[in-house]
Amino acid sequence: MLLALDLALILEKLVLIVIVVMASLVIAMYVTFAERKVAAILQDRRGPNRAGPFGILQPVADGLKLFFKEEIIPEFSSKFLFILGPSMAMLTAIMTGAVVPWGDHIDFFGRTVSLQIADVNVGILYVFGVVSMGVYGIMIGSWASNNKYSLLGGLRAASQIISYELAMGISLIALLMVTGTLSLKEMVLQQQQGWWNFCYQPLGFLIFLICAFAECNRTPFDLPEAENELIGGYHTEYSSMKLGFYLFSEYINMFVSSVIMSTLFFGGYDLIPFYDESAWGLSANWMAIIGLGALMAKVVFFLFLFMWVRWTIPRFRYDQLMNLGWRILIPLALVNMLVTGAVILLKQNNWHF
């Protein structure tokens, strides 16, 4: 046989991939709507309320508008790279969902289906690799626009993302020392049995959260698209759905980083800490649904935090941004790593020096 593969397994994974991708897209769509509503509440307005009841069709209308807008490709730009930019941004935003455990497992006609696309043993490093790829979408697009404001925005994005990736990585090392595994699934299982990682790594979580804001180009770190300095930043020359891709990938990134934060620090699909939910004696399918609900509740909280910060805190200046990244977050993360390592060593030695 040419390709001896388990067809059912491939089918199962394909279905899972389609569901995860579609779900991230739809959730990101409604995150744009939620952002406008939250902004409206914080600014004492009503927000979008014309399309459908309570305006819930607004994201569909926005999408349609972007599709029907005229598409302009600048004459002196590299056409292939100009299209590659937003595509890369979208691709890297969606790819992270592959290693996230969305729930434990479900029984489907006698078949145990794991609710995780791939349980790779370098899970968290995979996430990190995809995040580090995310900068290319912005850089390629900004360069291909052949516009100096776009290029400046792209360069800002690149330097910002690289700077904050360091602190993010170091804060993750401390977490990995605590958990002793790179697989996201195993991390969740550990947290189900004991404390959530947030209890062990509060400072690590804070650093990770700040870096996640910076990696997503969210306010107060949205210098790459600072409209009062750079017109529109890296997507100045973009129009129609390619602009839509850039804006949309930001929301998918927000969603994905909320999922990652919940999984790493807040127990993923674990509903109640210090409590064994399997004592309820529910079937696996119900447990999976409850777990998914718990994960989504945490995600919604983080998404709200993203929006809350955006409409509360003004944008940093560029030197403040670099100072925060290099002079505060990286030393803090290093100290956190050293202290964590020392405590773990002490614990292994039964608390004797």
Partner 1 sequence: MSITEILFWFLTAMALGSAIMVITSRSPVHSVLWLIVTFFAISGHYIMMNAQFLAIVNIIVYAGAIMVLFLFVVMLMNLNAESEPQKNRMLQFAGLLAGGCLFLVILASLMKATETSSMVQLGSGNEGLIKNLGKALFNDYVIPFEISSVLFLSAMIGAVLIGKKEKAEHDGN
| Dist CA 329 CA 346 (whole Å) | 25
Q: Find the shortest distance in angstroms from Cβ 91 to partner 1.
A: 13
Q: Find the shortest distance in angstroms from Cβ 155 to partner 1.
A: 7
Is the link from the previous residue into 220 a cis peptide, with omega within 30 of 0? yes
DSSP 3-state assignment of 105?
strand
Q: Find the shortest distance in angstroms from Cβ 134 to partner 1.
A: 9
**Which residue number, 101 or 244, has a Cβ lying nearer to partner 1?**
101
Do 184 and 263 meet the contact criterion of CB atoms below 8 Å apart?
yes
Q: Find the shortest distance in angstroms from Cβ 119 to partner 1.
A: 12
Backbone phi and psi for residue 216, each to the nearest 5 degrees, phi listed first: -85, 0
| Dist CA 118 CA 9 (whole Å) | 12
**Which residue number, 121 or 323, has a Cβ lying nearer to partner 1?**
121
Chain mean position to CA 9: 27
**Which residue number, 48 or 153, has a Cβ lying nearer to partner 1?**
153
Residue 350: partners with Cβ closer than 8 Å, 6 or more residues away: none
Checking DSSP bridges between strand 111-114 and strand 105-108, what pairing results, if any?
A: antiparallel
**Which residue number, 151 or 337, has a Cβ lying nearer to partner 1?**
151
Q: Find the shortest distance in angstroms from Cβ 49 to partner 1.
A: 42
**Which residue number, 95 or 252, has a Cβ lying nearer to partner 1?**
95
For the chain, helix, strand, coil in percent to 5 are 70, 0, 25
**Which residue number, 166 or 206, has a Cβ lying nearer to partner 1?**
166
Do 183 and 123 meet the contact criterion of CB atoms below 8 Å apart?
yes
Q: Find the shortest distance in angstroms from Cβ 264 to partner 1.
A: 17
Q: Find the shortest distance in angstroms from Cβ 151 to partner 1.
A: 6
Token reading at 191: 């947290």
**Which residue number, 304 or 326, has a Cβ lying nearer to partner 1?**
326
Residue 270: partners with Cβ closer than 8 Å, 6 or more residues away: 188, 191, 192, 196, 277, 291, 294
| Dist CA 190 CA 264 (whole Å) | 11
**Which residue number, 143 or 265, has a Cβ lying nearer to partner 1?**
143
Q: Find the shortest distance in angstroms from Cβ 166 to partner 1.
A: 9
- Positions that interact with partner 1 (CB under 8 A): 2-5, 78, 81, 120-122, 125-126, 128-129, 132-133, 135-136, 139-140, 143, 151, 154-155, 158-159, 162, 165, 182
DSSP 3-state assignment of 316?
coil
Q: Find the shortest distance in angstroms from Cβ 92 to partner 1.
A: 10
DSSP state of 69: S
Q: What is the amino acid identity at position 178?
A: V
**Which residue number, 165 or 222, has a Cβ lying nearer to partner 1?**
165
Token reading at 254: 């927000």
